[in-house]
Structure formats: C-alpha cells, structure tokens
Amino acid sequence: GKRPNEDYDLEVVYLICVLHDMGLTDEGNTDQRFEVEGADLAAALLTKHGVATADVDRVWEAIALHTTPDIAVRRGLLALLTFEGIYIDFGKNADLVAEWAPTIHAVYPRQAMVRSMADAILTHAARSEGAAQRYTFAHTLVRERETDGQTFMESTVINGPWGE
C-alpha cells in the first residue's frame, strides 16, 4: 500500500477486510466456494447500501481472490493488499506489524483463530463438491485434515510468530 504513484480508497480496503469471510457465515449457505459466496454476499450488501458499482466490483474481485495468491497479486492493488493483509494474520510478513501486534492482540485476542477458521472452511466445504472443488483452497484443507489431522495452515500459524 506504500508503492509510489499507487492510490486506493481506504474505505474500500476496509470493506474488503471486514466482509471477506462472509461466505463462512450462516448467510453463506449455497454450494459455491466460500470465497465466491462471500464476494457475492458482500456485493449484494454493498449494492443495497448504494455503494458505487465500480467499488462493488473491486470488492467482489478482491474477496473472491483472497485465497488465490498467484492470481490476486496480478489483479491490481486492492486484490494484492487484501491477500497480503489477510495473510499477515497467518504470520506472513509479520515483521511489518511486529510493533503493533501486541496491542492489536490485547484488544482483539486471536481465540484459536486458525482452528476456528479451518473448521468453518471445512464445514462449508462439506456442503457439496462445488463448495470444495478440486485444487481449491477448501479442497486442500479437506485433504490435509483427513490425511494429517491438521492443515498446513494450522501448523504454520501455531508455529508462527503469534501462535494460535
């Protein structure tokens, strides 16, 4: 977000961050991937509240791609910021927020964040093949949990800079 000559709307970034996992809520109850379902739910909510179509589209794209890093980093600054920002929660580039992390975690405890997140994704994935299509993030988590009892995402976070 600090690239020279790059600009973005902080409100749009905020909306993406707050809404990016809507597909894992009770509202996310179709047979789509949670990322796409969440993007659709966020877009519907923002449209209902009169957010400009161009901003709704940018929010949709960033949310839909937030678990697909190789694509997200090629789809513009908002998709990149979304992916990179969300993955800080999982320990990626933790040094960027090391100064603020203790304060943030004191106010917003992690509360078994990674296990809760994995469980929610796996619950959503169990709905249908469409919710965990082959080679998707959810499908990978299903396979890892079945094979090892713990996903790579979980072990990475548990052994990462902030633990569970």
Give, as one character, the DSSP assignment of residue 21: T
Q: In tens digits, what is the pLDDT along the chain, a chain of 164 residues?
A: 555 556 788 899 999 999 999 999 999 888 999 999 999 999 999 999 999 999 999 999 999 999 998 999 899 899 999 999 999 989 899 999 999 999 999 999 989 999 999 999 999 999 999 999 999 999 999 999 999 999 999 999 999 998 87
Query: What is the H or E stretch that residue 78 is in?
Result: helix 77-88
* Ranges of each domain in the chain: 1-88, 100-164
C-beta of residue 39 within 8 angstroms of C-beta of residue 60 = yes
Give, as one character, the DSSP assignment of residue 2: -
- pTM for the model stands at 0.90
- Rounded to whole angstroms, the Cα distance separating 159 from 164 reads 8
DSSP 61-72: HHHHTTT-HHHH
- Rounded to whole angstroms, the Cα distance separating 15 from 62 reads 10
